[in-house]
């Protein structure tokens, strides 16, 4: 089982299996893209038939092996406490924070049917996919919307547990993107910006919490 899991991980990292050790983080073996980590997570669950927590760039290979029954867990690495977001000239009583994400288009799988594709169904709502496939290059728009969701999750701990599929990127009458959450969040204002080239997309979310 362990060899099978390592082979799947190495396939996504595009490295030789001998280059991976249990004590490494996924970031250290070249897997820091959120898209690739979600695809890897789904593939490992499909290959093993087991459910595991989300994989992050700082997750240890040993922990994933343990969760999938491939090896004993290694001692957990010490996690640095993230520094609080710094703001400048913010209004009194308002907490302002920013989340951003950037992804390469090639990390998104190609599909002949985005609406019924397993990966895209797990991340996007049907209306988001329909918006993208109406464009000349659906994948780059989906990549931009993926970045928007990831940027929101990074912007404030309020959104840390929200699943990507439950976040919807919509567009107003002028074509400007905005975020819709599964349930209203009081005293929170969100601003979204998405940009892309032909090969990369990026998004920034400004989160303002009153009180």
Q: Domain coordinates of the chain in residue numbers?
A: 2-67, 94-210
Give the pLDDT band of residue 15 (cuts 50, 70, 90).
confident
Predicted local confidence at residue 71, as pLDDT: 54
Give the pLDDT band of residue 98 (cuts 50, 70, 90).
very high
Lay out the sheet containing 94-104: strands in order across: 94-104, 200-210, 188-196
CATH number 2.60.120.260 is the correct assignment for the domain at 2-67: no
Task: Give the residue among 193, 181, 189, 195 at the shortest CA–CA distance from 207.
Answer: 189
- What percent of the chain has a predicted confidence (pLDDT) above 90? 49
Give the pLDDT band of residue 23 (cuts 50, 70, 90).
confident
168-209 pLDDT, tens digit each? 999 998 889 999 998 877 889 999 999 999 999 999 999 999
Q: Compute CA 129 distance to the chain's CA centroid, rounded to the nearest angstrom.
A: 17
Helix (H, G, I), strand (E, B) or coil at 149: helix
- Give the pairing of strands 200-210 and 177-180: unpaired
Q: Are 2-67 and 94-210 in the same CATH fold?
A: no
Looking at domain 94-210, which of 3.55.10.10, 3.10.20.740, 3.90.470.20, 3.20.20.140 is its CATH number?
Answer: 3.90.470.20
């Amino acid at each position: 089982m362990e060899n099978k899991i390592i082979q799947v991980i190495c396939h996504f990292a595009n490295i030789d299996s001998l280059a991976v050790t249990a004590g490494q983080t996924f970031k250290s073996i070249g897997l820091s893209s959120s898209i690739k980590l979600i695809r890897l997570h789904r593939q490992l669950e499909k290959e093993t038939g087991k459910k595991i927590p989300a994989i992050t760039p700082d997750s240890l290979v040993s922990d994933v092996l343990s969760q999938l029954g491939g090896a004993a867990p290694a001692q957990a690495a010490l996690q640095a406490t993230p520094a609080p977001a710094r703001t400048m000239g913010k209004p009194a009583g308002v907490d302002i924070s920013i989340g951003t994400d950037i992804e390469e288009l090639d990390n998104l799988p190609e599909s002949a049917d985005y609406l019924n594709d397993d990966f895209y169904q797990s991340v996007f709502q049907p209306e988001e996919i329909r918006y993208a496939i109406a464009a000349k290059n659906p994948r780059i728009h989906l990549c931009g919307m993926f970045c928007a969701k990831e940027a929101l999750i990074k912007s404030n701990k309020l959104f840390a547990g929200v699943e990507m599929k439950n976040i919807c990127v919509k567009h107003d009458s002028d074509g400007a993107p905005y975020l819709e959450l599964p349930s209203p969040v009081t005293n929170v204002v969100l601003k979204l910006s998405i940009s892309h080239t032909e090969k990369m997309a990026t998004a920034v979310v400004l989160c303002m919490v009153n009180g």
